[in-house]
Structure 1
Amino acid sequence: MAPVPKHPYTQATLIEAIRAVQEKTLSLNRASQVFGIPYATLGDKVRGRRPINAQPRTLLQAAEEERLLSWLKETARQGFGRTKSDIKDTVKAILDARGAVTNSPDNRPSKQWVADFFKRHPDLSERTPLALGKSGLW
């Protein structure tokens, strides 16, 4: 089965609807109906509350994210995979060193940020470690 698109409209349709409202050929309500774009979404874009092109949600600068990616790949290559908590702690250290802040009280990235990080870097994969019992170790 094909994946369901996040939005039932394309970027081109969104731009066309915004243009129609701005040129006053259609009202905001009518453009929303004709183009199949939610009224609030179209209104936010027309009024400038939200950018027309979606912005990627990242806390790190490009060079910082590239260094984090390299570090994760190198430690994994050496056999020391990192947990999501390790990633959050490392990003927090980078943000603290730069003096940047997040919305969270402890200045750590959210679960959603980590999920988006993995989406931006599909060459990374999440693994679940095998639980080892004590029985075969001694």
Structure 2
Amino acid sequence: MSIKKAAKHYGIPRSTIRFRLAKENQTVFRSGPATILTQEEESELENWLFDMQKRGFPVSKSMLLDNVRKYLDANPRTKKLSENVPGRTWMQLFIKRHPKISLRTPEFVTKGLVLLCL
């Protein structure tokens, strides 16, 4: 389908279609401000979370935020957070950007069950 026909059929301006098809604009379009961590850093953080889970040490919210704070202290940014501590909104958006991650409530294990497992 030609650009002109597509523009007419879907009611989108031709210039918008041309802009989206241009080679230099083949990047992922994301609205809103840039994130504090880069995509690579967030990917490493996601891998760390899964690695900790596999080792049997699930990460709590406070542990995650503390590790991000330590990382930002060691690697300063031009855009700063208050005291380099990400907040609840950062956590919610991080989980939204990484759908493999979810918040879970750990199950209560009684002493009797622990003794049976040993």
The alignment's TM-score, normalised by the length of structure 2, stands at 0.61
- The match for 1:129 among 91, 100, 106 is 106
Tell me if 1:102 matches 2:109: no
Q: Is the 8 A contact 1:57 1:113 kept in 2?
A: no
Equivalent pairs counted in the alignment come to 87
- The match for 1:74 among 46, 51, 57 is 51
1:136 deviation in Å?
A: 5.7
Runs of 4+ in 1 over 3 A off after TM superposition: 132-138
Higher helix residue share: 2
- Identical aligned pairs, as a percentage? 36
**Matching residue of 2:61:** 84
Q: For the aligned residues, what is the CA RMSD?
A: 2.6
Equivalences for residues 1-138 of structure 1 within 5 A: 54-55=31-32, 58-100=35-77, 102-104=80-82, 106-134=83-111
The alignment's TM-score, normalised by the length of structure 1, stands at 0.53
Unaligned regions of 5+ residues in structure 2, if any? 1-11, 13-29
Q: Is the 8 A contact 1:118 1:124 kept in 2?
A: yes
**Matching residue of 2:23:** none
